[in-house]
Structure 1
Amino acid sequence: MDPLPARRGAAEPDDDEVGRRFAAGDEQALAWAYERWAGQVHGMAVRAFGPGPDAEDVTQQTFVSAWTGRAGYRPDKGPLPAWLVGVARHKIADTWARRDRQRRETEAAMSEVQAGPSGPVTAGVDTQVADRVLVLDELELLGQPQRGIIELAFFEDLTHAQIAARTGLPLGTVKSHIRRTLERLRTRLEVDGAALHA
């Protein structure tokens, strides 16, 4: 009697088998992939951004994106960890682009505030500029996943359902995070607005 099937059942599959099962949609393969290669992906993200929320987000986004886009992985074209590294590189590039966009938006808003009125500028425009600065400041204070959810909703124009799919969070959780964050932003704007007009 061949004992090999019993041994194979008791032990975890090798990397190639994990890749094949991942491509086939086996959720256990996703767990194995995360266990084996999340450290490598996180290391790449830490080298890009330093330890902290951005590195953690990139790690999570890499595996969520890899899983939702697993139809694009071909086990016969290369090993799964190499493909995951490619996905991570894209997520790192996306995060750098988002950071750069936010920096430029903040600088532009600050320039408008510092320049002051250069002609017949209405109070409404000044208020909008101040509001933009306050919103960008408040986003900097948000923790994850709230900050990422708000950025997906307002910077990338994703629907609640698309955000849930992108982040792997339940739809109800996404909606409640957005609602609570918007309430917090509204309160901050009202408080700061009252201070400005006092």
Structure 2
Amino acid sequence: MGEPKGAASAAGATEDGAELVDGFLAGDEACLAAVHRRWGPLVHALARRSLGDAREAEDVTQLVFFAAWRGRAGFVPERGTLPGWLVGIARRKIADALSARTRRTELVAAAGARLLVTAPDREVRPEAAIDRVLLADELSRLPAPQRRVLNLAFYDDLTQTQIAEVTGWPLGTVKSHARRGLHRLADRLTEADLAECAA
């Protein structure tokens, strides 16, 4: 007796590109695993080279395959190859990760500048500003929606578009919560710093 039909089909899917693509598009999780095994190293190498950080590259790789799985209906084989499509998703996720880095840097710089403006005679170390910005108890004092948006941005490195997808909120609402939360956080940091100066 030969192999069970399902096992033979899965084995074939991992070897034959067309069957693998068909299975992936049909929602076959075995094919997703095979796609990840086959092209995950390519995506990871691209992310590692662009980001220069192994852990961040691994996170981006997972995001790429999660996005590909969720959006598989958008892949049209006639328009290009599956690995080419995955690389396209990877480039967007890498760009998102780089943008998130820039936003964090700008936030830290803005918070540090705010502290310097309000307390010009006091030396403010950049690492102290970073510690204050990331301080969990300061974030916990913000209204829940603002806290959620900033937590997703700071700790999960999500873009505002990704936060909108995760929360189900309109993008404009996410932007509004982020802006208000950052303003409140900066105000709290300033108040805390002035209180330390007065002590």
* TM-score, with length taken from structure 2: 0.60
Question: Match of 1:158, SS?
Answer: helix
Structure 1 counterpart of 2:166: 162
Task: Give, in whole Å, the separation in 2 of the partners of 1:155 and 1:91.
Answer: 10
* 1:136-173 alpha-carbon deviations (Å, 9 max, x no partner): 377xxxxxxxx7686459863837x926xxxxxxxxxx
Shift in alpha-carbon separation, 1:153–1:50, aligned structure 2, 3 A? closer
Task: Give, in whole Å, the separation in 2 of the partners of 1:56 and 1:26.
Answer: 23
Contact 1:41 1:88 (C-alpha < 8 Å) held by counterparts: yes
Question: Match of 2:27, SS?
Answer: coil
Contact 2:64 2:89 (C-alpha < 8 Å) held by counterparts: yes
Question: Match of 2:163, SS?
Answer: coil
* TM-score, with length taken from structure 1: 0.60
CA-CA distance at 1:72 after TM superposition: 0.7
Q: Give the gaps of 5 or more residues in structure 2.
A: 121-127, 137-150, 168-188
Tell whether 2:91 aligns with 1:105.
no
Contact 2:100 2:158 (C-alpha < 8 Å) held by counterparts: no
Contact 2:111 2:133 (C-alpha < 8 Å) held by counterparts: no
> Which residue, out of 71, 77, 80, partners 1:78?
80
AA at the equivalent of 2:53:
P
Structure 1 counterpart of 2:133: 135
User: What is the total number of aligned residue pairs between the two structures?
Assistant: 148
CA-CA distance at 1:52 after TM superposition: 2.4
Q: CA RMSD in A?
A: 3.7
Contact 1:48 1:92 (C-alpha < 8 Å) held by counterparts: yes
Tell whether 2:31 aligns with 1:33.
no
Structure 1 counterpart of 2:139: none
Contact 1:23 1:70 (C-alpha < 8 Å) held by counterparts: yes
Task: Give, in whole Å, the separation in 2 of the partners of 1:103 and 1:137.
Answer: 16
| Identity within the alignment, % | 37
Tell whether 2:24 aligns with 1:22.
yes
Q: Give the gaps of 5 or more residues in structure 1.
A: 119-129, 139-146, 164-188
Contact 1:19 1:79 (C-alpha < 8 Å) held by counterparts: no
Task: Give, in whole Å, the separation in 1 of the partners of 2:154 and 2:109.
Answer: 20
* Greater RCO (Cα-Cα under 8 Å, separation 6 or more): 1
